[in-house]
Structure 1
Amino acid sequence: MRWTRRLIACAISLCALLGMVRLVAPATGGASGEPHGVQRQLAFLRSALDDGAGDEAQQLFPEGYFFLHALYGLTWVELGMRAPEGDRARTDALREARWSLDRLDSHSGRAPFSADLVPSYGVFYRGWCNWLRGGMLSLQPAAHRDPAEVRRFTADSAALGAAFDASRSSPYLMAYPGQAWPVDSTVAMASLRLHDKLLPPRFTATATRWLDGVRDRLDPRTGMMPHRVESATGAPAEVARATSQSMIQRFLVDIDPVFAEQQYARFRDRYVSRPLGLAPAVREYPDGTDGPADVDSGPLPLGVSLSASVVTAGAAQVHGDAPLAEGLTNLSELLGAPVETPWTKRYAFGLVPIGDAFLAWSKTARPWVSDIPATPPAPSLTWWWRLPLLMLLLAAGVAPWVPALVRRYRGRRRAP
């Protein structure tokens, strides 16, 4: 029994020490460095996808299959962009991104969406696919881009641009029949900006009109883009929520950096908090407001959305908000309890691969069209927010040894 207790105490102390390391070790890699462990995360995700994780994710929420494949491909693009032209890392990234897009450009990838929408299959499907395809072209030297991929990117961008131009009553296109979410149109518009960076520009006027329409339809309670809108008019139908805002803030910087800076400041002020005075987290609803959880937000302990907190790490990184990006990612490293091997890395024992995909995508975030702001926002966090958690982990690591130390002390006191 004595040795069993000692082994358990050693295990607890080791876990506490590991948690302390994860809370302070660099986790994001910044705009140019490769975050530690991301390639091993992708190795795990590829294995999970080959074993049917996409179909399993589809059972959890309507875009599960799509998001798992899309984020896998987008993270590979992010890694490829960090490698010099001609490097094998770019070739590997392009191969995996193409594999991912092939799965999206299939019956399974299109199954949740309607071919009758404009553009076909809706702005969610077309926008994310166009963004990924543009990312793939970014990995290829301009003189050696795949002609078929250039034609498809040009045609899909034209279809999106025509749909935005024709939608005079609302800046937001439908993702499903009769349903529109601003975040989906934001991704699609960012893909048009990416088109104009890679190919001869043609969507400047489209983007200008879109931004004017967005500014005219901001959520009156927060001054931000609403979570959901009336499909016919684009009028706000639901208060801005973090599950969509965290993505909007990631893509908006590639559409209009000035407007994005203003919106990010509002988002950080109203949604980023420190529950119980401890670690940074992101509320699903604005400060002072509560609302119901749903399949996108997940459970909301203390009003916090874990999924939005993960995605916000990427949004913070593209805005140059390194303290918040690092803080949220460190917290994910601690709470996610990653299991690492020399070949793979998975969080929460790999039970929810979609979570791994969002975290890998967030850790590699950087703008694709614009530059990271030269003047980062004023820090909302200092390094010292970690101190209470470090003290708790230290106490947890020491606690199993206290009874033995007390017994030894008492034994010495009794000795003649």
Structure 2
Amino acid sequence: MILLRLLVRGVAALVSLAALVGVVRLVAPATAADGTPPGAARQLAFLRTALDDGAGEDAQALFPEGYFFAHVLYGLARVELGMREPARREESSREARWALSRLESPAGVAPFSPELTPPYGVFHQGWTNWLRGGVLALAPADRRDPVEVRRFAETSAALGAAFDASATPYLAAYPQQAWPVDSTVAVASLRLHDTLLPPRFRGTVDRWLDGVRQRLDPRTGLLPHRVDPATGAPAEVARGTSQSVIHRFLPEIDPAFARQQYLAFRDHYLTTPLGLGPAVREYPEGLDGPGDVDSGPLPLGVSLSATVVTLGAAQRHGDHRLAGALANYGEVAGVPVQTPWTKRYAFGALPVGDAFLVWAKTARPWVPDTTSQPSLSAGVPFWWRLPLLSLLVAVGVVPWLPVLLLRRRRRRSAPAGTGPAAAVGLLP
């Protein structure tokens, strides 16, 4: 009986401790509008080690762009950390260059076709050009490597020429396959070019925006998930996995149009499954569909990957309450493991997931916004934590009920004249 009591109390204590940790993670700041988001530098330290140990190759076995994403997101997060902390710029620049070299390595281009225009397709060229521009952005204008400047100008020119020659705003990422999100990243890189170097792509960008506005998803009014590669006509309804990335880059292209699109995205895709916290649906409200390698499983219609990436989109749009809510929710559900030097989520089982998360948490503008945007209403109410806090408190308290019941039963079953009171002569 003594062993049973000790076991029950031990289990109760462990569960209560876990619930307490959850409460702390739910309320402690997990993002930073300025400065470094908590834990970001340690996440990047873990990621670099994981990439050296083959995490990119492991990710490639999971989906076609796994190797590429693992390295490009690491490089982009390094750039953004350097933008936030000038003292880290030299380290960030070195690491971003290392990631860039991996994108252009045989393993980095292997999944893509050199026969496309531009070579290897708009997915590979767009993300690579964005990172290349980020490397330049870390250096003062008078100290930039002329070779890197020339390379960025050349690849931007190739992208611009491809868009100018296309009958559709959406270039192919793979033969006969086009996704608007990929072209959005590429066009953002042209806007970054015009910020860092003498401008030359204003007309290309304007024509692209006109073409996009003419080909929106009729159900949601958003950029569609997939399009006809020849005409750019919508071929699939807007989906959370691509929308979460689009809304990270669209503000770099046209802030006013981006704001309209982001608000529509929130209306159609933001949800609170079981009332416990914000999440992002893969399909718009009222429509269900199958998951795939990008979205993962869709419990209650929610895409985990879209939810993670939306954190960065919200932060980029200045929707800081939603960004903080998504980050805090991730601190509870993501089971982070920390050391003084590293931080990883889900016990480090899927480093490419850590790459997406740290890229989301470090989100910041790269192209200055010269427009005057109205203030953005909060994406979630101020009391969003209360249901989850109540659940955590209940989880922490419930395991102690058996302990109390055992104690009460023991007191009832104790014979009269026994116990501590009788031992000192207080009972007859």
Query: Deviation of residue 8 (structure 1)?
Result: 2.6
Alignment of 1:96-245 (within 5 A): 96-167=95-166, 169-245=167-243
What SS class does the counterpart of residue 221 from structure 1 fall into? coil
Cross-structure match for 1:93: 92
How many Å separate the matches in 2 of 1:268 and 1:220?
Answer: 17
Q: Which residue of 2 aligns with 1:61?
A: 63
Q: Which residue of 1 aligns with 2:422?
A: none
Contact 1:321–1:376 (CA under 8 A) maintained in structure 2: no
Residue deviations 1:94-147, cap 9 Å, x none? 011011111111000000000010011110000000000101111000000011
* Correspondence for 1:298 among 287, 296, 312: 296
RMSD: 1.4
- Amino acid across the alignment from 1:125: H
What is the SS of the residue equivalent to 1:237? Answer: strand
Gaps of 5+ in 2: 417-428
CA shift at 1:6, angstroms? 3.0
Any gaps of 5 or more consecutive residues in structure 1?
none
TM-score (norm 2): 0.94
After TM superposition, give the deviation of residue 339 of structure 1 in Å. 0.7
CA contact (8 A) 1:319 1:376 kept: no
Aligned-residue offset at 1:55: 0.5
Residues paired across the two proteins, number: 411
1:28 corresponding residue in structure 2:
31
Amino acid at match of 2:280: V
- Taking the aligned partners of 1:370 and 1:400, their CA distance within structure 2 comes to 53
1:257–1:370 CA contact under 8 A, matched in 2: no
Structure 1 length-normalised TM: 0.96
Q: Which amino acid aligns with 1:298?
A: G
Counterpart of 2:256?
258
Displacement after TM superposition at 1:412 (Å): 4.6
Amino acid at match of 1:144: R
Instruction: Map Cα deviations across residues 144-183 of structure 1 (whole Å, 9 max, x no partner).
Output: 001111111010000000000011x200100001100000
CA distance in 1, matches of 2:139, 2:10: 53
Q: CA deviation at 1:375?
A: 3.6
Distance 1:27 1:401 in 2: 30
Q: Which residue of 2 aligns with 1:333?
A: 331
Distance 1:270 1:279 in 2: 16
Residue 13 (structure 1) aligns with? 16
| Residue in structure 2 matched with residue 403 of structure 1 by the alignment | 402
Structure 2 counterparts to residues 266-415 of structure 1, below 5 A: 266-371=264-369, 375-412=374-411
Tell me how far apart the structure 2 counterparts of residues 366 and 152 of structure 1 sit (CA, whole Å): 24
Once the two structures are overlaid, the 10-residue window that deviates more, 277-286 or 59-68, is 277-286
- 1:345-365 deviation digits (Å, cap 9, x = unpaired): 111111111111111000111
- Higher gyration radius (CA): 2
For 1:383 and 1:236, locate their aligned partners in 2 and report how far apart those are by CA, in whole Å: 37
The offset of 1:261, in angstroms, is 0.5
C-alpha contact (below 8 Å) 1:37/1:345 kept by paired residues: yes
The superposition leaves residues 304-347 of structure 1 with CA deviations (integer Å, 9 ceiling, x where unpaired) of 00000000011011111111111111111111000111111111
CA distance in 2, matches of 1:148, 1:405: 73
8 Å contact 1:253–1:370 — kept in the other structure? no
Q: Aligned pair in 2 of structure 1 residues 12, 371: CA closer, same or farther (>3 Å)?
A: farther
CA distance in 1, matches of 2:287, 2:376: 25
Q: Return the letter of the residue paired with 2:28.
A: A
For 1:102, give the aligned amino acid: S
